[in-house]
Structure 1
């Protein structure tokens, strides 16, 4: 099959590959699969050694995958390997309280039974998602993976972009996709700046085993210092994403496992019974960072390279996968029309599709964090009454549920329906 790489018209040599993806994480891997599915040749450049990526150990990291994101995983051929490890989220309960409060009567309750499409999403552990993606990448024709490969230079010409690698070699491509995180070197080399700010919060992340079943219920508890999410995993286990003031978070992180649990327990009570740690503990400082442009000549950004948001709604990876689906949609349509996939006109369609959505999501998560991460009696009364009002308006409640499931708006093909 002619992927477009190799010899072009009139015998002129074309670029080494159609797409060069910088960054081999989940966003980069999904981009490679989506674009190879469209018949493009892809080279995936990852600075990490393959042995690190192959490690099967559970490190506590998990993702809340919206329903639209699971459609993408199905269409990329990943779901068969993931389904047995995916925990459906049947309900989401949102409450507003302080440490030591009794159960809060005012709050939001979302039930998947109100959605025709099924569960609002699934919790999937990083180890299973990464393993399924690596296996699929290995098995997909048209994808070349180069591990332990760093990019040191980047230039653009009339027919494509050229990457200079740390070993002194070069790689030319019709388009470079930056999937290399919030400190994206691809964006920096393309002259794309960033807008954003730090939060005075750090996320403490872990997984717990617990005595009682969670029944597929996800909990979002708003505390004065920041949100605490308790997200169901398979079995009697849950993922914890716990935001605390930065100084206190650093003190908690230095505690022993037993002391750590003694601080965590009173924050959400005893409804899960006895708890213990399952996997490693992590911390990361929280910030909002948005690329000022999603594209530059011959360059497109996806995932955290384009936007990094507060984890308050669990939408970080989902937003990145929507980038992937939108980029694949735009490039596939352009290729069918005979357009140059790296042209400014084609890339502008992708940027216009994703710019407003991600800016709105970033601002919404910022607003919710500021609104709820405080102990103001006036604000607390207002937000609790607001949640009660949403609960009593079924159409508004379902609208929030569809938004959380990723079903609202103009969906790319890979997220709009099952194409397998």
Structure 2
């Protein structure tokens, strides 16, 4: 009689966490909070020390959160700590012109009163948003934070993913989420390529104090060298995102504060009275950068790791928050159904959901920048007439307002104000 075959040995693969999130800026913590609210365990790895991430002094950095993004913040439990520190965006005025000559008579004016949902969005300062996210993570038992560590390696297998940190520590999870920016190491290690191009523009970013109230109005002034965004903050202050040709931006940024303001004043105008700098000054080179895939084996990319766009419409962070809401919903629903949350088929649902929207945003911001960042008289006439026509068409205006508020398209539950 033949000997019976030996029993099959089934190895139980242990996991340190369900999702490993690489990057602790803004997208990483938001994703962690969304996933943990659905009962999933999350480990967030960030290269910065915790005290730097908790820095709460005003430095001028601020973010435009669309109304739908504010709903997400409510859904993950942080909006109540931000609400009284956020400045509602009530109107948006879009104009075209040249520095020192004032705006064209053709313009677009979007008033939040034309939709029922409320303000189109909110301006939130970095010094309030980042600590609020960190505080919420610290209070959540499903979230583990690892600071001052870099990921040096990642390997996937049929059941999970393992990452290696620069101190030799390893962690095993079911899914790896890359929230590590445009130079994403997560994407590179997963073999995901990028496509894109530089704009030969640099954004000069700062905050201003001004003599007159802004009344919650955001302004976008298009000039030949690039757009100037004036975004309302609480009090008589505004956030400035000022795009110039890179050589000019470097020269301007090297100027002392008084000369910097002298260059800005003809572009800014006098409608808010006298202006002065508040906080620090920053510069950011502008480019388009798109990952060719949003997912790989056991891996998903979110935010700037997936797509970096021109700030012309202020949608960069909001696009990342849409990624987060979609990925969190896909993973939460798969977990509730008992599916493998890291299976390629599961992650492909996220890619299918977000790929077209991200590509459309990238192409739209690129086209707008090319259309408006020039002094071609024919293009100037065409865009001015186009703005005038849109401004006189209520249905078109409402469409733009809803788009700015993040209320269009196939929205995940968190962006609709529903629980995950």
Normalising by the residue count of structure 2, what TM-score does the alignment of the two structures yield? 0.97
Change (3 A) 1:53 1:329: same
Equivalent in the alignment of 2:232? 232
Does the residue aligned with 2:207 lie in a helix, a strand or coil?
Answer: strand
Give yes or no for the alignment of 1:43 onto 2:43: yes
Q: Which residue of 2 aligns with 1:99?
A: 99
Q: How does 1:125-274 map to 2 (within 5 A)?
A: 125-274=125-274
* Per-residue deviation, 1:280: 0.1
**Shift of the alpha carbon at 1:16?**
1.1
In structure 2, C-alpha distance between the alignment counterparts of 1:361 and 1:12, rounded to whole Å? 43
| Equivalent residue number for residue 4 of structure 1 | none
Q: Deviations over 1:247-272 (max 9, x none)?
A: 00000000000000000011021001
Q: Structure 2 unaligned segments of length 5 or more: list them.
A: 1-9
Alignment match, 1:348: 348
Structure 1 residue 13, shift from structure 2 partner = 4.2
Instruction: Could you list the structure 1 runs, at least 4 aligned residues long, displaced by more than 3 angstroms after superposition.
Output: none
1:203-245 deviations in whole A, cap 9, x for unaligned? 0000000000000000000000000000000000000000001
1:348 deviates by 0.3
SS at match of 1:349: helix
What stretches of structure 1 of length at least 5 have no aligned partner? Answer: 1-9
- Deviation of 1:337 (Å): 1.2
1:317 maps to what in 2? 317
Distance 2:206 2:339 in 1: 47
Q: Distance in 2 between matches of 1:164 and 1:176?
A: 12
Q: Counterparts in 2 of 1:87-126, with a 5 A limit?
A: 87-126=87-126
Quick check: 1:287–1:310 contact (8 Å CA) kept in 2?
A: yes
Q: How many Å separate the matches in 1 of 2:419 and 2:150? A: 35
1:7 alignment counterpart: none
Asked if residue 376 in structure 1 is aligned to residue 363 in structure 2, the reply is no
Q: Is 1:393–2:393 an aligned residue pair?
A: yes
Q: What is the DSSP-based 3-state SS (H/G/I as helix, E as strand, rest coil) of the residue aligned with 1:279? A: strand
Deviations 1:249-302 (A, max 9, x none): 000000000000000011021001010000000001100000000000000000
Q: Does 1:74 align with 2:69?
A: no
Give the aligned partner of residue 338 of structure 1. 338
Q: Which residue of 2 aligns with 1:307?
A: 307
The CA deviation at 1:11 is 8.2
Instruction: Give the Cα–Cα distance (whole angstroms) in 1 for the partners of residues 156 and 102 of structure 2.
Output: 60
Of 98-107 and 46-55, deviating more is: 98-107
Match of 1:188, SS state, is: helix
Rounded Cα–Cα distance in structure 2 between residues aligned with 1:89 and 1:249 = 28
Query: C-alpha distance in 2, partners of 1:167/1:281?
Result: 35
Residues 103-161 of structure 1 show CA distances to partners (whole Å, capped at 9, x for unaligned) of 43210000000010000000000110001101000001110000011110110111100
Look up the SS of the partner of 2:105 in the other structure.
Answer: coil
The answer to whether the 8 Å contact 2:88/2:216 transfers is yes
Counterpart-to-counterpart distance in 2, 1:148 and 1:406: 34
How far is the alpha carbon of 1:418 from its aligned partner?
A: 4.4
With over 3 angstroms needed to count, the CA separation of the structure-2 counterparts of 1:279 and 1:11, relative to structure 1, is: same
SS for the counterpart of 1:104 is strand
The DSSP-based 3-state class of the residue aligned with 1:116 is coil
Cα distance in 1 between the residues matched to 2:250 and 2:139: 42
Distance 1:417 1:20 in 2: 26
Contact 1:74 1:418 in 2 (8 A): no
Structure 1 length-normalised TM: 0.97
Q: What is the CA distance between 1:167 and its match in structure 2?
A: 0.8
CA distance in structure 1 between the partners assigned to 2:11 and 2:269 by the alignment: 70
- Paired residues in the alignment total 412
Q: Distance in 2 between matches of 1:336 and 1:102?
A: 57
Aligned residue number for residue 7 of structure 2 = none
Q: Is the 8 A contact 1:88 1:119 kept in 2?
A: yes
**Aligned residue number for residue 414 of structure 2:** 414
Partner of 1:289: 289
1:14 to partner: Cα distance: 2.2
